[in-house]
Amino acid sequence: MPTTPNLKKAFTDKLLIWNALNNKRIMPWKGEKDPYKIWLSEIILQQTRVEQGLTYYEKFLEHFPTIDKLAQAPDEEVYKLWEGLGYYTRCKNLLATARNIVANNKGVFPKSFVEILQLKGVGNYTASAIASFAYGLPHAVVDGNVLRVLSRFFGKQTPIDTTAGKEFYEKLAGELLDVKDTGGYNQAIMDFGATICKPQLPECKVCILKDDCMAYRKGLVNKLPIKEKKLLKKKRWFYYFVFKYNDKILVNKRTDRDIWQNLYEFYLHEAEASENWEQKKIEELLSKVLEINEFKIIDVSKVLIQQLTHQTISGQFILVDITYLPPTLNHLMSVPTEVLSTLAFPKFINQYLEIHSLAINALS
């Protein structure tokens, strides 16, 4: 069945009927017109499940009800509130954008699609969402849910992760947009993909679109959409030395362009492969690499793992009491153990702290 104007109209009409009668998905930002709140929700939901993002959205609005409040907040406070969400570049961009709008636009959120798209951390999808939800501008959102719905309904096997595929689906999405209620339509198609046309076990039995859905008619529902590229996951091994010195713990802030930027960590030894940290190996690193001759090895943790989207982080934590601070550790900050809970650490380190906080505190 070709993608005719009649089929496109049927798609939009039926989708809006479903939205009016059967869409029960409740989220605090639905129907929101405040561009600050919409922007905040969209940034939080990038690479984050709605169920997880909801709590963070509410916490951020409680602490920073306006963009001015967010712009004035100290970095550490914002990063601590973001802790656990991952993809910390989003938080960095959130702060940069808030401060830019307050400093250069008197705290007024930009109102055109082009201006919104120029904001740090905002791509085509986020700009379309803000423009349509806040201002009713005719820009169709195209996220994973939308791509899946369109690929299945129209039976398109064009890979969604290619340049040609993205251009094709963005054009198609624009043609389907209900210009009388762009925000309502955009929310409807995203909700439909999240609750009916799901990635696994879609609700085809109750789908209002199934009679015209090409994937349903041809038995291709579980085969669409198609992705051309396979995700290659990188494996990394992080071995952290938790140094206690003068009743304090040595920490470092990550500043490199890498995962967990602007979060805190302990002294890191990154290895190319899994390593066995027996006492002799620990002693060699401490004495020969770090020039520490007086120390007491308190504990070596079990192997911990965190799965990121593109990386698997594995490693251990070695808790060491030292009486001398060598020049090799001068770049680290010393903080009281009770302050650790106020610093923003990546989830990988928080796993360790949750289990070993008593052991660390006992050293003080």
What positions carry a catalytic annotation? 42
CA-CA-CA-CA torsion sign (269, 275, 278, 284): negative
Two tokens, residue 146: 């939308």
Find the helix or strand (DSSP H, E) in which 315 lies.
strand 311-322
Evaluate whether 186 touches 137 at the Cβ level (below 8 Å): no
Handedness of CA 356, 357, 358, 360 (dihedral sign): positive
Determine the angle formed by the axes of helices 163-176 and 5-21, rounding to 10 degrees.
Answer: 70
Give me the residue label for tokens 């199934």: 210
Question: d(Cα 4, Cα 10) in Å, to the nearest integer?
Answer: 10
Specify whether the CB–CB gap between 67 and 109 falls below 8 A: yes
336: which strand partners? 248
